[in-house]
A and B are shown apart, each in its own frame.
Chain A
Amino acid sequence: MQTEDFTIIDDGRPVPVPVTLQNDQIRLAPEDLKRALDWELKPEGLCRGSTCILIPEAGSVVTEAGVDLLEFARLMDRPLALDAEERAAYLGTSAGDREEALATLQAPDFTLPDLEGELHSLSDYRGRKILLVAYASW
């Protein structure tokens, strides 16, 4: 089947990936899933590093046509915002993963640019007390 260009924005990081579109189904070849999202299809399930998630027997996550993106998101319990017309989807972080991280009380690290485009990470300031302020002109 013919593939089309599609963009998966994986937690803020856009990754172009060829997909097949059929009815409401968006399918990726397993090698593209590995390349784009770093999940590998193995006999034991979908794996990333040493973590493997069992694929339900009766499910439709993996078919001969490829890995179904919506079913994949559901299996991972990750939110998926989709715009089929625009050929793009945002794959976010699950509430469970976010909560697990926040419950440790460890402040999540991030790296962002300043006005000059120079990057700074929260972890650069370890060893000092920090007031983090999110604000906006709006």
Chain B
Amino acid sequence: MWQKLYEELKDSNFVVITVAMDKTAADARPWIEAAKPTHTSLIDAQHLVADLYNMVNVPTIVWIDEEGRVARPNDVAFGQDTFKALTGIDSAKHLDALRAWVRGEAPSMTPDNVRSLRSSPTRQDQEARAEFGLAFWLYERGRNEAAERHFLRGGELAPHDFMIRRGSLPMRGIDPMGPEFAKMLMEWEAAGNSYYLQLPY
């Protein structure tokens, strides 16, 4: 999905690192093999990056500059418009802004601006992630019934955290595109919330 962009910009001192939040490498493999990435493509079944960066959904992108500083905090963006009708998100705004930043044609966001746009994890968010961490460990050991309790508890503690709520559906043996997810999404949006929260450009 990001391979084309990487090919376009790789000579501008730029890399793409994708991280698959799938329950196993086997789940991510068909996607990765279809995309044939030459950029770095990693697997994070445990959702360690989600915890480190306070990510609550996919896709989530972060820009990181040459000094290892966040130049654009967590945002939702797509590499192409395959799901545009579904998500309402146009890939072009982000891609144009990213190209301009990589090529040095546009100034970086100021640190104050980055700070004002980033989100902070709450105590409950971290409790939810601990529940997910325990659930995943149990799931990997085939302790599915016990895992279920903690996946659910995690979702209750952080209802906005779809990295946990939707991301755990395949681990719970539930279709992540099926009726369970449709119900989850409908209830979330009926309560006046957005599934995808995009930053301003």
Contacts and interface: CB of A to CB of B under 8 A. Distances in A.
A9 B121 contact: no
Contacts of A91: 130
Nearest to A119: B42
Contacts of A103: 115, 120
B103 to A, nearest CB: 10
A132 B19 contact: yes
Contacts of B48: 12, 110, 112
A1 interface: no
Contacts of B42: 112-114, 120
B175 to A, nearest CB: 9
A107 interface: yes
Given A105-B115, A115-B41, A92 B129 contact: yes
B63 interface: yes
Interface residues of A, number: 52
Interface of A: 7, 9, 12, 14, 78-83, 85-86, 88-95, 98-99, 102-103, 105-110, 112-115, 117, 120, 122-123, 125-138
A89 B127 CA distance: 12
Interface in B14-54: 14-22, 25, 27-32, 40-44, 46, 48-54
Interface of B: 1-2, 5, 12-22, 25, 27-32, 40-44, 46, 48-55, 58-71, 79, 98, 101-102, 111, 114-115, 118, 120-123, 125-127, 129-131, 133-135, 137-138, 143, 146, 149-150, 153-154, 166-167, 169-170, 176-177
Nearest to B30: A137
Q: In this complex, which of A78, A91, A129 has the most chain B Cβ atoms within 10 angstroms of its Cβ?
A: A129
Given A105-B114, A132-B17, A133-B59, A126 B68 contact: yes
Contacts of A120: 17, 40, 42
Contacts of A86: 138, 143, 146
A134 B50 contact: yes
Contacts of B22: 136-138
A119 to B, nearest CB: 9
Nearest to B127: A79
A127 B137 contact: no
B170 A106 contact: no
A129 B66 contact: yes
A93 B126 contact: yes
A95 B122 contact: yes
Contacts of B79: 133
A47 B46 CA distance: 28
Contacts of A123: 68
B125 A95 contact: yes
A105 B69 contact: yes
Contacts of B27: 137
B18 A135 contact: yes
